[in-house]
Amino acid sequence: MAYFDRFVDSRRPELEKRGHEMTIIAQDPTVTKEGRILTAQVRVPADLLALGPRSHRFHVVDYDSTSGQLLPPVDLNDPEREGGWSYRDRFLEADDATLTSSAAFHAQNVYAIAARTLAHFEFALGRRLPWGFAGHTLYLVPHAFAEANAYYSREDQGLLFGYLPDETGETVYTCLSHDIVAHETTHAILDGLRPRFMKPGLPDQAAFHEALADIVALLSVFSIRELVESQLAEEEGRVPEGTLSEAEFKSSALYQLAEQFGRATRPDRGSALRRSLELDPGEGWKSDLEFEEPHRRGEVLVAAVMRAHVAMWGGRVRDLIEAKALTRRRAAEEGAKSADHLLRMAIRSIDYAPALEFEFEDFLDAVLTSDEITAPDDEHGYRDSLRHAFAAFGIEQPQGRTVDLAEMPLGYRNVNFTALRADPDEVFRFIWQNADLLQVDRGLFLSVDAVRPSVRVGPDGLIVNEVVADYAQSVNSTAGELAGTMEIPPDLAPETEIQLWGGGTLIFDQFGMARLHQRKPLEDWDRQSRRLAYLVRRGYYDTRGRLGFSYGSGQGLRFADLHVRNRRAGEDW
């Protein structure tokens, strides 16, 4: 195609530029400063940008399926310069009308936020991340249909953003909401990292997809200093005036933000932050049917993380408060820093989280374990903040689920260290040889799904180099066969086919030695009983009447049904 010809002879990338500053709408068009839409310049990794815009990981296609219109691709490069590396921000000084009505800006906004979100993940995990489908590029469709909805479709390899026009000329574009774009991008990234989370598991597993997407979206928004500063209060100056305790600062800062974001964000769901903050700490959610609905359940995790965020933030400004020297700008800076840090901790934890059969306590376990490895000292008490925030909701770090293998006499006979860093067969050989010590049943089907290198900078400035390998085990059986082994719900016909899953994650250190084993054994019958009871209670049968195989939702539509209002949660059958 003609437009690619321009890049055949592309120049060498400019060495001094690893990233571009791109203008985005800081939150969404309803969040304004001095009567104008609040924008921010965010750093996006530099990439060769073809028309679309299209990079090696994202491809913006502006197709509107409702009207059947395909808009021409947008060129974000400097028209005065040759080659695909010459990005120029045309929207730095753009007025509000341009921001809301320019297809080119919509394309830039959605591209920049998606690329920035992926960069957050790659930076925290220290490697390139695959998508959850065969292909390297995720489509971004900024005006996919006339509906207030946005979702990730694995089958279509894309994120689809709807818009909703009305006759008053006011149109809500979901592609202009920072948190919606970050949320949907997170679904796509998590699907690449943990494809089995789309399988029917425990209620926490589906909820985690929503929770992580909300957490990343909120922390991503909060890590924009300009936004936090402008939302903390209308006028410039010191905050708080007079004497304000650390506790008061915490509550006022976050609630003020929640108030601002409450009216914005998703037209269908309202603000995730506000709903999470309205959640009273306690363990009631565990037995409340309402909290089996994934979005509602996810709010528990969001609430715990946001409470931890505000504790960390408060801790960072404690000295300034005591010295009565806290300015809004400084408060915002510290807030953005703690948001950024927590975001990194949350993302990093995914490598340490099980690849299937996920539960909320696994997330806490994974965050704490991964952080202990990169920052053993925890000088700011971040881990304690997290522990307390989660404990308030009855989520405690599980004991013995992550097994320390350092002292175990594991065998490495004939194992090749180089192969072990990349080859699933070699990891399988290691598991096969050490199945007894690892407490893995050789009699069950086992597949090593992924072997990934992970690189990060440790607290001493040196590189921490690890390999993360996931394996899964599964067995197909029937309710009748399993009756003596686990609890079978009373009304379940004995011939009902059931698929059971288990597995684990192995972490190998820089010497190729197995160091940690995160286990979700298939033979945990208490867990299997809880999962089966949940699947039966929610009626998650597939089209053939089986349980545990798939959710039975239409292709590309697993994430489409966002219209979950609080009132409805828990009332459906």
Partner 1 sequence: MYQVGFGDCFLLSFHYRSALADGRKERHILIDFGSTHGPRKPVKELLEKAAALIERHCGANGGPGKLDVLVATHRHRDHLSGFGDVDTAAVIDRLNPELVVRPWTEDPKLPADATAVSPRASSSRRYAASLGEAQNFAEQVVKAVATEERFARGLADDVVELAREQLPNREAIERLNGWAKKGAGEYLHAGMTTAIEQLVPGVKVRVLGPPTVEQAPGVVRQRANHPEYWLTQRAMLAGDAVPLAALRELTAVARDTGMSAEAAGRASAPAGLVRWLVERMERQHLASLYRIVHTLDDALNNTSVILLIEAGDKRLLFPGDAQIENWWYALNDAPDCDEVRKLLAEVDLYKVGHHGSRNATPRNALFNLWGADPDPERPMVALMSTRAGVHGRSEATAVPRATLVAALKRRTTLYSTDDPKLKQPYVEVSAPLLGGHPFERVEPEEE
160 to 199: interface string for partner 1, x by CB under 8 A: x-xxxxxxx--x----------------------------
For every residue of 116-135, DSSP letters joined together read: HHHHHHHHHHTS----SSSS
Decide whether 165 or 411 has the Cβ nearer to partner 1.
Answer: 165
Decide whether 418 or 543 has the Cβ nearer to partner 1.
Answer: 543
Decide whether 78 or 509 has the Cβ nearer to partner 1.
Answer: 78
Q: In the set 374, 487, 556, 564, which binds partner 1 (CB under 8 A)?
A: 556
Decide whether 411 or 545 has the Cβ nearer to partner 1.
Answer: 545
128 to 157: interface string for partner 1, x by CB under 8 A: ---------x-x-x-xxxxxxx---x-xxx
* Min separation Cβ 167 and partner 1, Å: 4
Check residue 44 and report its DSSP letter. Answer: E
Token pair for residue 370?
């991964």
Q: Do 347 and 125 meet the contact criterion of CB atoms below 8 Å apart?
A: yes
Q: Do 141 and 159 meet the contact criterion of CB atoms below 8 Å apart?
A: yes
Site size for partner 1, by CB under 8 A? 80
* Min separation Cβ 149 and partner 1, Å: 7
* Min separation Cβ 221 and partner 1, Å: 23
**Residue 273 CB neighbour total at 10 angstroms:** 27
Decide whether 471 or 541 has the Cβ nearer to partner 1.
Answer: 541
Q: 109 Cβ partners below 8 Å, 6+ apart? A: 24, 25, 142, 175, 176, 181
Q: How far is Cα 219 from Cα 239, in angstroms, rounded to an integer? A: 22
Q: In the set 35, 79, 237, 443, which binds partner 1 (CB under 8 A)?
A: 79
* Min separation Cβ 461 and partner 1, Å: 42
Q: How far is Cα 124 from Cα 249, in angstroms, rounded to an integer? A: 29
* Min separation Cβ 390 and partner 1, Å: 26
Nearest 5 degrees, angle CA 450-CA 453-CA 454? 120
| CB burial string 341-380: b at 16+ within 10 A, e below | bbbbbbbbbbbbbbbbbbbbbbbbbbbbbbbebebeeeee
Token pair for residue 31?
């969040």
Integer Rg of the chain from CA: 24
The CA-to-CA distance between both ends of the chain, in Å, stands at 51
| Interface of this chain with partner 1, residues 409 to 468, rule: CB under 8 A | none
* Min separation Cβ 51 and partner 1, Å: 7
Decide whether 228 or 535 has the Cβ nearer to partner 1.
Answer: 535
| Interface of this chain with partner 1, residues 286 to 305, rule: CB under 8 A | 289-290
301 to 340: interface string for partner 1, x by CB under 8 A: ----------------------------------------
Establish whether the linkage from the previous residue to 72 is cis, with ω within 30° of 0: no
**Residue 123 CB neighbour total at 10 angstroms:** 15
Q: How far is Cα 561 from Cα 190, in angstroms, rounded to an integer? A: 18
| Interface of this chain with partner 1, residues 204 to 223, rule: CB under 8 A | none
46 to 75: interface string for partner 1, x by CB under 8 A: -----x-------x-xxxxxxxxxxxxxxx
Q: How far is Cα 289 from Cα 299, in angstroms, rounded to an integer? A: 14
Site membership for partner 1, residue 82 (CB under 8 A): no
Q: How far is Cα 186 from Cα 220, in angstroms, rounded to an integer? A: 11
Q: Do 440 and 446 meet the contact criterion of CB atoms below 8 Å apart?
A: yes
**Residue 491 CB neighbour total at 10 angstroms:** 6
Q: In the set 29, 84, 132, 158, which binds partner 1 (CB under 8 A)?
A: 158
Q: Treating both helix axes as pointing N-terminal to C-terminal, what angle do 203-222 and 225-232 enclose, rounded to 10 degrees?
A: 80
Decide whether 79 or 443 has the Cβ nearer to partner 1.
Answer: 79
Decide whether 65 or 252 has the Cβ nearer to partner 1.
Answer: 65
| Interface of this chain with partner 1, residues 375 to 394, rule: CB under 8 A | none
Decide whether 77 or 369 has the Cβ nearer to partner 1.
Answer: 77
Token pair for residue 199?
């399988």
Nearest 5 degrees, angle CA 151-CA 157-CA 163? 35
Decide whether 203 or 240 has the Cβ nearer to partner 1.
Answer: 203
Q: Do 463 and 455 meet the contact criterion of CB atoms below 8 Å apart?
A: yes
| Interface of this chain with partner 1, residues 229 to 268, rule: CB under 8 A | 267
Of the ranges 342-350, 366-374, 518-526, 563-571, which one interacts with partner 1 (CB under 8 A)? 563-571
Decide whether 71 or 392 has the Cβ nearer to partner 1.
Answer: 71
At residue 217, φ and ψ (nearest 5 deg) are -60, -45
* Min separation Cβ 295 and partner 1, Å: 15
Site membership for partner 1, residue 106 (CB under 8 A): yes
223: helix, coil or strand?
coil
Q: How far is Cα 186 from Cα 212, in angstroms, rounded to an integer? A: 7
| Interface of this chain with partner 1, residues 344 to 363, rule: CB under 8 A | none
* Min separation Cβ 90 and partner 1, Å: 8
* Min separation Cβ 75 and partner 1, Å: 5
| Interface of this chain with partner 1, residues 492 to 551, rule: CB under 8 A | 536-543, 545, 551
* Min separation Cβ 483 and partner 1, Å: 18
Q: In the set 93, 436, 491, 526, which binds partner 1 (CB under 8 A)?
A: 491
Site membership for partner 1, residue 554 (CB under 8 A): yes
Q: In the set 235, 237, 436, 573, which binds partner 1 (CB under 8 A)?
A: 573
Sequence letter at residue 486:
M
* Min separation Cβ 22 and partner 1, Å: 16
315: helix, coil or strand?
helix
